[in-house]
Amino acid sequence: MDVALLYHSEIDHINMVEFLKQPWPWYVAGPLIGLTVPALLILGNKSFGISSSLRHICASCIPANIPFFKYDWKKEAWNLFFVFGILLGGAIAMGLLSNPNPMEVNTKLATELAGYGITNYDNLIPADVMSWPSLFTFRGFILIVIGGFLVGFGTRYAGGCTSGHAIMGLSNLQWPSLVATICFMIGGFAMANLILPHILSL
């Protein structure tokens, strides 16, 4: 009897691990992300956001006479633990729950990317344009360095990132967050359909 229970328990454990390795549907992952908003508000009256953590890190490590970094960052230290938890969760998921099967890319997308010379995918990242060797190419420099700078600049200029505005701000019915989110989407569509194809063809 004990052997049978142990066997079924082991089977259930294997099935659970296999379930966790699969991509979660939007109607599961989406609400889980959304529930972080009321959880943070109820537990500590905190606002959900990721980009502000970089400011806190700079304020703690570079106490220069820069007005933007002159504030009591220790009051926002919880945000650093929150971001660390995201990194830790990602590392655990990558190390223990990653799907060993080759990544499946939509046939139309794969054909389009192949036209730009992108055929190597490494865990959702096109290694042909997002890797250390590609960093030293003109195309890679534009995508990684200039693109990264623009993302950081745009985040600060907008007063927050997609998590702060699209998730937290819209949940609180904030008008500036609605404007920012609309601009995020317009910029993303324009980049993906009008600008990115020219950069990838370089």
Residue 2 lies in a domain: no
Residue 40 lies in a domain: no
Q: What is the DSSP letter of 122?
A: E
Residue 94 lies in a domain: no
Give tens-digit pLDDT for 3-33: 454 444 555 556 777 777 777 788 888 888 8
Residue 17 lies in a domain: no
Least confident of 2-16, 44-58, 59-73, 92-106: 2-16
Which candidate, 198, 166, 160, places its Cα nearest to that of 185?
166
Residue 157 lies in a domain: yes
Counting other chains too, the contacts that 143-150 makes at CB distance below 8 Å and 24 or more residues apart are: 143/199
Total domains in the chain come to 1
Per the structure, the complete domain to which residue 193 belongs is given by 104-202
Residue 143 lies in a domain: yes
Q: What is the pLDDT of residue 29?
A: 82
Q: Rounded to two decimals, what is the model's pTM?
A: 0.73
